[in-house]
Amino acid sequence: MARTILFVIHGVGQRAPAGSTNPASDAAKTWWKEPVDTIVSLARKHAPRADIGLKPKDEGVQIVPLSYCDVLVDHLVGWKDAADGTKDVSAALRARYPALGEEYLAELSDITTDDSDFFWSKAVDVLLYRVFLDVRIRQHVRTQIVRALKEHASRGRVPAAAFVSHSLGTAVLHDTLAELLRDPVEFGGIANIDVLAYVSLANVSKVLTNLENPYESPVRPFGAGHTAGARMRRFINARHELDPIPYIGGFNPDWDPQTSNYSLVTMNRITDPNTHSFVEYLKHPGVWAPLFEAILDKPVTPEQLEQLTEQHDKAPLPPCAAALETLRDEVESLKDAVAALKPTTAWQSISAFTRAARVIEEARTACVKAGANAGGGR
Amino acid sequence: MNTRVVRSIDALRCALLITACGAFATVARAQDGLGRCAEPALGSIGKGDAGLVHPEALRAKFAERIVAKDWLAVIDGYGEAIDVGLRGRARGSAEANALRDSLTLAVDRLLLEARNAVQRPKRTWAAALNPLDINQTRPTFSGGRLVMLETASRPRGVAVPTAAEDSTEVDALCWTAWSVYQLLHAINFETVPDAVLRVEATAARWDRYEARGPLQLPHELALNRVVRALNLTGGGRYDPPTFELIFGHPFAGFELRRADGAVLQQATAAAHVGGFTLWLADRKFPLSVTWVASAAQDVVGQGPVVRLGELGSVGYIDRKPPGAPSFRSFALQLDALAFLLDDERAKKVLSLVGLSAATLEGAARK
């Protein structure tokens, strides 16, 4: 049993390692290693006596990775021919699946042939979740949550819970929890779980709004908006200024941090050219410190948090100034495009998500290359 | 009998009532930053005059009632104990008094509403507890402050006095808070096993749906999403559908035709033009009926095909070549090949096919 369960859920593009014979299952079994290792390592450093991990002792904090990539990969394998060799995403889908409707297909026409690989490897997940498989995926994630709570229930109580979600996972988890918390007739006492903290990293749940507006659902912090029905003791929302994904995601609630338990962490220091990295978000003290305060009873005053953030921001920039400059320009340009488009639906956002994935990947590749060149020159 | 003796007897009784002790209790916490306000360990004893509201003391005192699931009596008993152990105490510091006033108000409301809840059918208990913020009495840290009574309408909670206070005052407040937290969660938990069964049953239905149902292409998923939105799919809100449409779905297969005393086999490119899948027997058995168009030897034929669960799809194709008599073929979808990999089964299937083909050919000649 565990005193608290920390659920962690992934974003887009989680696939099995190359050569996998069971890609769906292997994707689910492997995606979480880095984020979980990061959480455990941060906890060991900042709360050394804390018992947290995949196998904590009794009364520790159990980390439970939640997966939905297995459902996505399963379907992509079934549709494999749809993804092979198709560089013009819109034309490929139009030719093969005319029933999708012209109005939706037109939204994909902005995906260039250069970006098509990023569509099939990442952004297609958004489409699969939001348009095709949402009910199935919510059920899949909900079952994992309920099983973990049941497994760790002890002496007449389910453990308290906390959640960390990233990217597309913010939409999946929001929808799953909103449904779960709203329906105590179906889900019994599970609907009354004690949610100690909810962390969303690069939140996209607004543009992918599905069942319920995330600004008004139970997945909002105490004191936010209409006070009745808010169920998160604290809600930590982090976004990087140079990560275009949350910008497209459009999650900008008007919750007041002074009167609600909402904290907005805006990052601008580049610690990694992949500004959308799950792990880099986790490493920011604005994210982990309030999370650990909630789940490890490790108090953090605002002054301490400020000091931790200052220390974190002293980290050196990655050694690829030119690549980072290009990243800045590309992100600004993408933001301008998104501002003009004002996407409000999943379909409208797909091409922007695809382009964003390319921009980040190119910056990452350029930075690795620059690092290799610098290393080789020594 | 003095209080200490009563408590010892209660502890002994509780030790004997293993199930009762297990019904709701806490266990030791190796590290805890909540200090004095940490959840008391299993089997610990609340010392001092605040001991009346200690979670372990209350659990022991009402062990028999808890085992009997006589929640009304347990709630009333807890209420009375808290009346004496918390409300009956002398007033303390201003900070402690503020928390005590807020806590007693909250506890009164929580216990009253919990009392109302447990008098309803059990399936509704969780719904009755849902608006109450049953988690609010749990002490927690927020921005470095130890607080309790965090709720949607009181997001910052009420500070727990931790420094320079009468320690028994803090004990009384924290132990009361944990006692109420444990009690409400124990009542709430009564509804959990059935809910877990429902969730597992739904998961099993989805697993069967995925494993046994036909693969859907994106446009079919999109179409069936509309069907689901129109509430035409049947089943519960969280269940997989019981009725879905099939539309424009290409598949590879082969046709078997009897000619010149032998069974001719030919690969075919075919598509389900339209049809539906109906799930029977709690989604254990999908039955699909479609109208199929199949091209072979440059002639397109059409006919009905029935998919029988996981067994495969069978049907017949009526084909009319230009300037030649029409003929019918027995159509099989590729998943039926599984049968043919097994010699014994293959013989049976081919025998069945032979009979069917003969019948169809006879019908065609008429």
Segment A292-309, tens digit of pLDDT: 999 999 999 999 999 999
- Contact in structure between B292 and B267 (CB atoms under 8 Å): no
Which residues of A are less than 8 Å from B142 in CB distance? 233-234, 261, 293
Which residues of B are less than 8 Å from A157 in CB distance? 24, 182, 185-186, 189
- A258's tokens: 């002074």
Q: A257-289 pLDDT, tens per residue?
A: 999 999 999 999 888 889 999 999 999 999 999
Dist CA B312 CA B332 (whole Å): 7
Instruction: Quote the pLDDT of residue B119.
Output: 97
- The residue count of chain B comes to 366
First vs last C-alpha separation in chain B: 102
- A79's tokens: 């549709």
The whole-model pTM stands at 0.86
Average model confidence (pLDDT) for chain B?
A: 79
Indicate which of A233, A236, A258, A298 best probes the interface with B, i.e. most B CBs within 10 Å of its own CB. A233
Please say if the pLDDT value at position A344 is more than 70: yes
The mean pLDDT of B340-365, rounded to a whole number, is: 40
- Contact in structure between A297 and B32 (CB atoms under 8 Å): yes
Residue keyed to tokens 């060149």? A373
Strands laid side by side in the A262-267 sheet = A52-53, A61-66, A4-9, A160-166, A195-201, A235-240, A262-267
Please say if the pLDDT value at position A115 is more than 80: no
CA distance A192 to chain B (A): 6
The mean pLDDT of B258-281, rounded to a whole number, is: 78
Q: How confident is the model at residue B365 (pLDDT cuts 50, 70, 90)?
A: very low
Interfacial B residues in 223-252 facing A (CB < 8 Å): 223, 225, 228, 237-238, 240, 247-248
Q: B189-247 pLDDT, tens per residue?
A: 999 999 999 999 999 999 998 888 877 877 888 888 888 877 766 567 899 988 899 98
Instruction: Quote the pLDDT of residue B200.
Output: 97
Cα dihedral A14, B196, A188, B148 sign: negative
- Among B287, B281, B289, B279, smallest CA distance to B209 is for B279
Lowest mean pLDDT segment, chosen from A60-64, A73-77, A255-259, B24-28: B24-28
Count Cβ atoms below 10 Å from residue B17 Cβ, excluding itself. Answer: 16
Q: Would you call A205 helix, strand, or coil by DSSP?
A: coil
Q: B325-349 pLDDT, tens per residue?
A: 777 777 766 444 444 444 454 444 4
Q: B136: nearest CA in chain A?
A: A194
Instruction: Quote the pLDDT of residue B205.
Output: 93
- E strand or H helix that includes residue A278: helix A278-282
B35 or A142, greater pLDDT: A142
Domain boundaries, chain B: 3-190, 221-365
Q: B17-74 pLDDT, tens per residue?
A: 433 444 454 443 433 488 889 999 888 888 877 889 999 999 999 999 999 999 999 9
Q: How confident is the model at residue A104 (pLDDT cuts 50, 70, 90)?
A: low
Q: B152-164 pLDDT, tens per residue?
A: 999 999 999 876 5
Indicate which of A52, A100, A192 best probes the interface with B, i.e. most B CBs within 10 Å of its own CB. A192
CA distance A315 to chain B (A): 25
Please say if the pLDDT value at position B16 is more than 70: no
Please say if the pLDDT value at position A318 is more than 90: no
A316 or B201, greater pLDDT: B201
Q: How confident is the model at residue B127 (pLDDT cuts 50, 70, 90)?
A: very high
Dist CA A206 CA A249 (whole Å): 6
